[in-house]
Amino acid sequence: MNYTPLDQAYKIHHSNSNTYEGTVSYNPICIYCTNTKSKPLIPFADGGSFRQCVRCKKNFRANIITEAVQNYRYSTHHLTRTY
């Protein structure tokens, strides 16, 4: 039986590598109580996108605050949302 290594099992690929340059940064502000301090839940697997607020202890998905590459908006302006 082939097992997935533990360091690869929870690796989350949620952003396209062509969209952002360098390291992707996440907003640490809690979406529930607007506290500015939160800690990453699985920093080595997802880089800190899933966080826990230090004050209210709720878990949340943080927004990416890293700027997109320069031509990203122009190259995707023709796409429309499907919601």
Contact 60, 33 (CB under 8 A): no
Q: What is the pLDDT along the chain (83 residues), one digit of tens a residue?
A: 777 776 666 665 556 666 766 677 889 999 999 999 999 998 877 778 889 999 999 999 888 888 776 665 555 555 666 65
Structure tokens at 81: 């949302």
Residue among 64, 37, 34, 38 at smallest CA distance from 51: 38
Predicted TM-score (pTM) of this structure = 0.62
